[in-house]
Structures are given as structure tokens and as C-alpha cells.
A and B are shown apart, each in its own frame.
Chain A
Amino acid sequence: MLSAVLPALMLSLPLLGAALALLMRGEGHRVFSYLCSAASAVSAALWSVLVLLNGTSTFVLDIPSAMGDYAIRLDPLGALVLLITSLTFACVAMYSLFSREGITSRGASLFNLFMLSVLLAMVADHVLLFLVAWEAMSLTSFLGAWGSREDQDTAAGWKYLAITHFGAALIIAALAFLSISSGQVRLSEMHGLSSSLGAASSAAVIVMVFLGFGSKLGLLPFHIWMPDLYSRSPSTVTALLSTAASNVAVLVLVRFVFDMVGVGYQHVLSLAIMGLAAITALWAAWQALVQRDGSRVLAFSSMENMGLILLTLGAAMLFQSYGAAEPAAFAIMAAMFHLINHTVFKALLLMGVGTVRRAAGEWDLEKLGGLARTMPGLSAVFLFGTLSVAALPPFSGFVSEWAMFKSLMHAEPIVDPLVRIALPLAIAVMALCTAIATAAYLRLYGFTFLGRPRSNGACHPRPLERVELFPLVPLAALCLLLGVASFPLLEELTSAVSPLVGAAGVQVIDGLSINFLHQGGLNPLGLSALLAVAILAVFLVLRTLGRRQLVRSDTWDCGTPLDRRTQYTPTGFSQPLLRVFQQVYRPRTEVREELRPSQYIRAVRFEQELPELFVLHIYRPLTSGVIAVAMRVKRMQSGSIQAYLAYLMITLIILLVVLR
């Protein structure tokens, strides 16, 4: 009974919310509209808990479509992702309400519709329903992201829409192909189709879905929409785009690749996917380091995290293709765990950046700084998110990244030298990514919250109301909780992903440690406790020396008074790494000295431009090429009626002569 009411509530409340926001006037109804979405999130969470307790639940909806009746289905893996997604939705809804970001009727209705499409995409068990929900997700997120400011150019949002539609087209083709060749319209009825499809077709399908879903996740070279969209959209939208939408993409991708199609013997394909994912992650880490806008940093961070997740999934495919089901299960588990953690910390960080932007009125890291003193609460929750995304113990990102590292260390049973070279390389890339990305997060936190304010806005930010922080606190708590005590989640995840690869009875929890195949486990709880005890011990021991006397004073200034501009800038901060990786960034730097008549240098101008290489070398030539061809074709419409008649005649004569 309850298990039927909850999904109904989950899907109908957002519709109600959207309708309320559109039809009614006044602020109160927008409040109700966000409450509707929060309530829907709660019912989604409850439903997923029920599913976790009682097992998969399926509903065939008595709604005729062009392809038979619609159906929805929630399996345990979906339930786990849905659970965390719905919690995020609830937090973001509350955040919208309290911070009044996106509280317009358009914003509220789109929020509800986006939520509906995400939920539907997660639970859809019908080809058409999934495709509709998937594309509706793109459309509603685009509409929510775009045009929030009047002067905005369309290009940023349009890039997103066009690229994501390209991805959708690939998915559509793949799904249509699967549906036709299996004769099924229910996704849950398709299993291991690769055996009937043959190697070439299943490889093609896997490539299509990887690129298709990858376009949403920022897989190279489809990433170019991400930074622009993130920097120009309300944080409530990006927080969901980066988390909820990515969750759908990864969840369905996993179902596609491992369950519906099945990996088969695609060694080379798996390696290629790993390669692409690795380059994506690395590229994103590099780019995150040099961005001036916090949202852009986080956009690239999403891309980096998704790259790592796809890398791990690629490794899982590799294991699976060699018949090593258990390492594959572990790798998928690690990837899904990271996905869940990413949801929490990324939503937190994006809303945090949004709050900073609204409070200080600045987005440029060059103009922020010192906000930890004026907004201590925000800086504290943001620090939780930062530590988590930087994968530092005892926060959630650490545990999942550890698991991803470990999953790459399972090369042992496979003797193919290619694999034995590829996996260590993957580890090297992952490590490099992590290190560089950590630097980027550190830069983001440090230059937003620490040091001296670099502008008036940062100096006197609008004071935050306490309620604005409320929605962020549960997320921050989850960052810590998922890092400290994630055993139940991991066990559920393992039992949910094992059937996908046909590995039965995989155990990842050994006593208090996460431990699997390879010896050497991690006890997150123990490690966190140890860390806490150590810090506490240091504190207590030093307390025995008596209370410290604290004197406040100016920063040491070598005798020259410091002002805003004597600080290190974020740009300067990333210069050393930028110089180390010059070949990657290819910066265009210009240093100009302005001389006085007396030949003393009066001023030095330093200009540096980091070209968007993918736009420059792929997209621009591509679009200009297409447009050039189009312009050539356009000449046929010359305006001359004689020419038009000639086309008619020539077509006719050619057809007659060729086909008579």
C-alpha cells in the first residue's frame, strides 16, 4: 500500500508544485511550490528506503504510449542513488526557499519539473519514458539555467543544449537499437544483449551510450558547455545539474553497460574508455586550477570527478571483460560510492559559492577573500565540503577515492601485459588528478575565505540570515558521516552492484574495515577516531602548559604597509603549476613595460590569456566548416526563378535517364 502511494506522491507532487507556481499569484504559492518539491523528495527517499528493505518494486502504469504501457521500477542500486539525490533535492529546495534564489514563478516551476524529470529518469523502466525524462531533464535544466539574467548571451546555455542533445541522440539511437533487437520496451527486460548482438554491435552501442551520457558528464571533448553554464546560472540549478543529472547519467550508464548490454570481451574498448576518462579527469583538474570563477572551478571539478568515476567504471569493464567479476563489482561499487559522495559535497559547494556570490556581489576570486571572518558559519560548512572534495580524511571523498584507488590495484589475476601497463598508468593519472585538483580546491577555499578582502563587496558582504545556512548543514554533516561511518551504505551498494556483473557473495566489509581481495583494508571509522583522538590529545597535552595568551596584530609587512593588492592573487598562486604544465595550457603571455621619459619603469603590465584549446582547435573549425558548407549550399537559393526551374528539370531528367 505505502509502497504504491510513495511513488505516486513522488511523481505527482512536483507536477502540483509546477502548476502552483505557474497558475497562482504571489509569493506564498512559490513557497508552497518549493514545499511540494521537498515533500516529493521526502517521499522519494522513503520509497527508496522501502525498496532497500523489501527489494525491487515495479509498477506498470496504465498509461498508453506510442510503445505500450509505461512502467517504473526501482531496484536497490537505483534506490541508493535516488535516496541521496532526493536528499539533495530537499536541501536545494529549502535553500531556494530560504535564500530566495530562483524564487520566481518560472524558477519554481522549472525546479519542480526538473525534479520530476530526474526522478522519472531514475525510475523509468520504459524506453520511451526514459528518453522523455532524460531529454526533459536537459530542457528544464537549460531553461532554468538560461535567461536568469536579461543581458545574458545565449551561447553558454545553447552550447549545453546542443551538446547534450547530441548525446541524447546517441542514447536514443542506442536504446532504439537495443529495443528493436531485443523486442522489448521495458529496460528491465533487457539483459546481457551483447551475446545476441555480436561484438561489433555491442561495442558500437557501448561507445554510443558512453559518449551519450558522457556529454552530460563533461566527457572530453563534450565538456565545453560546463564552465560557461555553471558560471552563468543560479547556483540552485547548477547544484542539481552537477549532482542529480550526473547521478542519472552514471546510474543509467552502469545499467546499460553492465546489465542491459553486458561487457562481453571488449578489452580494447574498455581500455579506450579508460583512456578517454583519464584524459578527461586530468584535463579538468588542470583547468580547475586556473579558473577565476568559483563556479567554473566547481564545473571542472564535476568533470574531474566524473572522469574518475568513468575511469573506474572503465576498469570495471576491463575486469569484467577478462572474466574477473569480483574486482569488477568492487570497482563499480567504488565508483557508485564516489558518485554518492560527489552528490553531497558538490551540492554543498555549489550552493556555498552561490551564497558567497550573493553576499559579496562578486564572482571573481581575484576580488574575494577574507570572508571567513565575516561569514564564519558559511566558511565552516564550506570547509567540510572542500575537505571532502579534496579527498582528505576523515571526509567522504577520501573513502571513496581510496576505494577507487584500490579497485585499480586488482591487476593481479589478469596476465595480459596491456592491462598490467594500463592499470598502473591509470593509478598515476588518478593520483596526478587528485593532487592537482586538491590544489584547485585549496585555491578556491583560500582565496574566497582567507586572507584580506580584495574588494569592497568582499569587505562588507551582506550579512547572512541564519536560515540560509540551514540547508547546507545536513549536507556538511553527510560529508563527514559518509566518511566516518559508511559501512551500511557500502554493504548495500555491494549487494546492489554484484548481480550486475554476476558476482555472487562479494564481501567488502571485513570486521570494521573495507577490505577486498587485495590485502590491506581501510577502517574509516578507526582512522577518523584516531585522527580525532590525536588532535584532542595534542590539545589536552598543550592545555597542561596553561592557557595561551593571544595578541592580535597586523600581518608582518617588512615595513611597508600592506594593502589589498600586496597579497598573492589567485592567478599568481597557480602560476608555478601553470608554468610546469605550460605545454598543456599554452598560455599567451604578454609583459609590457611602460617607460617614463627618464627611462625609469613606471608600470609593468602583465597579460595572460589561457585559450580554450578544445574550442579553438575542435569546435571553432568544426562550426565554421559547417557554416561554410551551409553558405555554399545556400547559394542555390539564388532568387532566380529560372535557376529554380532548372533544378526541377535537371532533377527530372537525371532521374528519368538513370532510373527509366
Chain B
Amino acid sequence: MADLLSIDTINFLAAAILLVSLLVMASTRMGQLVRSFAFQSMMLAAISVVLAHYTGSEHIYIVAALTLVVKGVIIPRFLMYSIDRLKVRREIEPLVGIPASLLISGGLVIVAYYVTEPLISSAEAVTRNCLAISLAVVFIGMFMMISRRKAMTQMVGLLMMENGLFLGIISTTYGMPLIVEIGIFFDVFMAVLIMGIFAYRINQTFETLDTTFMRRLRG
């Protein structure tokens, strides 16, 4: 009974994560973007807690704590700070318009379900929905990077991909070895930091964060 409740909770949270991803596609404000990401990360942490409770493996608690701290607090703060410093308030004129983006995102969700369909049959109960959702979140994050111009948005897109990935990790494997998990967190954190540094430098050199202007290297 408790297990069923856990599974339902996890599924619910996972659906919420997907929903956040879709909503993000509809938004053009940077602040909203980052906050959504933070919210998504927190839900991911919640899933981890539920899962830790469900499987009883303690190190997932640590993972949950790390997710909450690193992805839910530190990285969003850092991003907000950068947004303030670099003065990028909103994504003007995305490359793919909002309605089209939403349609494509929906399509991606379908693709994700279609792709994971043969895997799900052989997998466990928890995994079923979550794997498809995690793939969908990864796809949507990637699509966000494709359809938006600003460097900051791309960073957020990447982070959302990571979130999707993380959902996949905990739902299919109930957590990797701790050292790997910590390493991944460290890497993600460093990546964001380094991207932030580069974004800052890019803003200095190009006087914009619009990546569509960076087309000097071609052919």
C-alpha cells in the first residue's frame, strides 16, 4: 500500500516535472525560466526522497539533499545573479514561435513515449512512466536550446536536460554509486560555473548574449 502510494507520488511528481518543462517553453522571461528550473529541481529532490523512502537506500537521501541544495538553490541563485549582472531580462523573438514550440514539445513527448515503449514492458513499475518522462524532459531541454537565442536560456536548457537525466537515473537505477553521483553533481556545478564565466566573457566581447550573432566561424 505504501509502495503504491510512493509510486503514485513519484508518477505525479514526474508528470509535474514534465509540465514545468512544457510551461517553460511558453515563457520568455528569464527570471521565470530560472525559477521554473528551481521548482523542477525541487520536485526532483522530492522524488528522490520518496524513492529513498520506497527503496530504503540511504544514499539516495544524500542525493536528494544535494539536488535540493545544488540545483534547487545554488545554481538558480547563481543564474539570477548572472541575469542581473548581464541584464538579460527576457528572450525576445525565439527562433521558433511559442505556439510552434509547444506543438513540437508535445511531439517530442510522444516520441519519448514511443521510444521507451519497448523498454517499459521489461522494466519495473517505478520506471515505466519516469523513463519516458525523463526522456521527454531531456528532449524538451534540448529543443529549448535549439529554439532560443540567449546564452542564458541555453544554459537553463542544458540544466533541464540534466534534470531529465537525473529523473532517469533515480527512476531506473534507484541511484548510481554515490561516488558517481557526487562526481556528476560536481561536474554539473562546474559546468554551470564555467558556462557562466564564458557567458560573462561573451557579453564582454560581443556586447550581447544572443548566440545567433556568434556566426563568425562557419564553413
Interface residues of A (CB under 8 A from B): 634, 637-642, 645-646, 648-649, 653, 656-657, 660
Given the complex of chains A and B, what is the CA–CA distance between A653 and B142 in angstroms? 12
Give the distance in Å from the alpha carbon of A634 to the alpha carbon of B218 in the complex: 9
- 20 A-B residue pairs with Cβ-Cβ distance under 8 Å, sorted by A, are A637-B218, A637-B219, A639-B215, A639-B216, A639-B218, A640-B212, A640-B215, A641-B154, A641-B211, A642-B95, A642-B211, A649-B139, A649-B143, A653-B139, A656-B111, A657-B114, A657-B115, A660-B114, A660-B115, A660-B118
The answer to whether the Cβ of B145 comes within 8 Å of any Cβ in the partner chain is yes
Given A646-B146, A649-B142, A656:B218 Cβ within 8 A:
no
Residues of B within 8 A of A642 (CB): 95, 145-149, 211-212
Q: What residues on A are CB-neighbors of B115 within 8 Å?
A: 656-657, 660
With beta carbons under 8 angstroms apart, the residue of A641, A646, A649 that contacts B214 is: A641
What's the nearest-Cβ distance from chain B to residue A648, in Å? 8
Q: Which of B197-219 contact A (CB under 8 A)?
A: 211-212, 214-219
Residues on the B chain within 8 Å of A660, using CB:
114-115, 117-118
CB atoms of A645 and B111 under 8 A apart? no
Classify the secondary structure of A's interface with B: helix
Interface size for B (C-beta < 8 A) is 23
In the complex, which residues of chain B have a beta carbon less than 8 angstroms from the beta carbon of A641?
A: 154, 211, 214
Chain A residues near B111 (CB, 8 Å)? 653, 656-657
- On chain A, the residues within 8 Å of B117 by CB distance are 660
In the assembly, what is the distance between CA of A334 and CA of B140, in Å? 75
Contacts of B154 in A (CB 8 A): 641
CA distance A649 to B118 in the complex (A): 21
Which of B146, B211, B219: most chain A CB closer than 10 A?
A: B146
Distance between Cα atoms of A634 and B217 in the complex (Å)? 12
Q: Which residue of chain B lies nearest to A660 when distances are taken between CB atoms in the complex? A: B115
Given contacts A634-B219, A649-B146, A657-B111, contact A639 B214 (CB under 8 A): yes
Q: How far is the CB of A627 from chain B (nearest CB, A)?
A: 13
- Residues on A with C-beta less than 8 A from B114 are 657, 660
Per DSSP, chain B at the interface is helix
Return A457 CB to nearest CB of chain B, in Å. Answer: 48
* Shortest distance between the CB of B144 and any CB in chain A (Å): 10
Compute how far the CA of A653 lies from the CA of B112 in the bound complex, rounded to whole angstroms: 9
Q: Using Cβ atoms and an 8 Å threshold, which residues of chain B touch A656?
A: 111, 115
Q: Are B217 and A639 in contact (CB under 8 A)?
A: yes
Which residue of chain A has the shortest Cβ distance to B149 in the bound complex? Answer: A642
Residues of B within 8 A of A648 (CB): 142
CB-nearest residue of chain A to B158? A645
CA distance in complex: A653, B118 (Å): 15
A-facing mask of B74-105, CB < 8 A → 1, else 0? 00000000000000000000010000000000
Contacts of A657 in B (CB 8 A): 111, 114-115
Query: How far apart sit A639 and B219, CA to CA, in the bound complex (Å)?
Result: 8
A630 → chain B, closest Cβ, in Å? 11
For A649, the chain B residues whose CB sits under 8 A away are 139, 142-143, 146
Told that A639-B215, A642-B148 touch, could you supply 18 new A-B pairs with CB distance under 8 A?
Answer: A637-B219, A638-B215, A638-B218, A639-B214, A640-B212, A641-B154, A641-B211, A642-B95, A642-B146, A642-B147, A642-B212, A645-B142, A646-B146, A649-B139, A649-B146, A653-B139, A660-B114, A660-B117
Q: Which residues of A contact B219 (CB under 8 A)?
A: 634, 637
Tell me which residues across on chain B come within 8 A of A638, comparing CB atoms: 215, 218
Bound CA–CA A638/B146 (angstroms): 14
* Alpha-carbon separation in the docked complex, A634 to B114 (Å): 33
In the bound complex, residues from chain B placing their C-beta under 8 Å from that of A653 are: 111, 139
Q: How far is the CB of B63 from chain A (nearest CB, A)?
A: 26
Closest to A640 in B: B215
> Could you give, for residues 129-162 of chain B, a 1 whenever the CB lies within 8 Å of some chain A CB and a 0 otherwise?
0000000000100110111110000100000000
Write the chain A residue with the least CB distance to B142: A649
Least Cβ–Cβ distance between B215 and chain A, in angstroms: 3
Min C-beta distance of A623 to chain B, whole Å: 19
Q: How far apart are B186's CB and chain A's nearest CB, in angstroms?
A: 24
What distance in Å separates the Cβ of B209 from its nearest Cβ neighbour in chain A?
Answer: 12
Q: How far is the CA of A656 from the CA of B142 in the complex (A)?
A: 15
Chain A hits for B148, CB < 8 A = 642
Which 5 residue pairs spanning A and B have beta carbons closest together? A639-B215, A639-B218, A656-B115, A645-B146, A646-B146
Question: Considering the chains assembled together, what is the distance between the CA atoms of A269 and B128 in angstroms?
Answer: 63
CB nearest neighbor in B for A647: B146
How many angstroms from the CA of A638 to the CA of B95 in the assembled complex? 15
**Most chain B CB atoms below 10 A, which of A642, A648, A660:** A642
Known: A640-B212, A660-B118. A645 touches B217 (CB 8 A): no
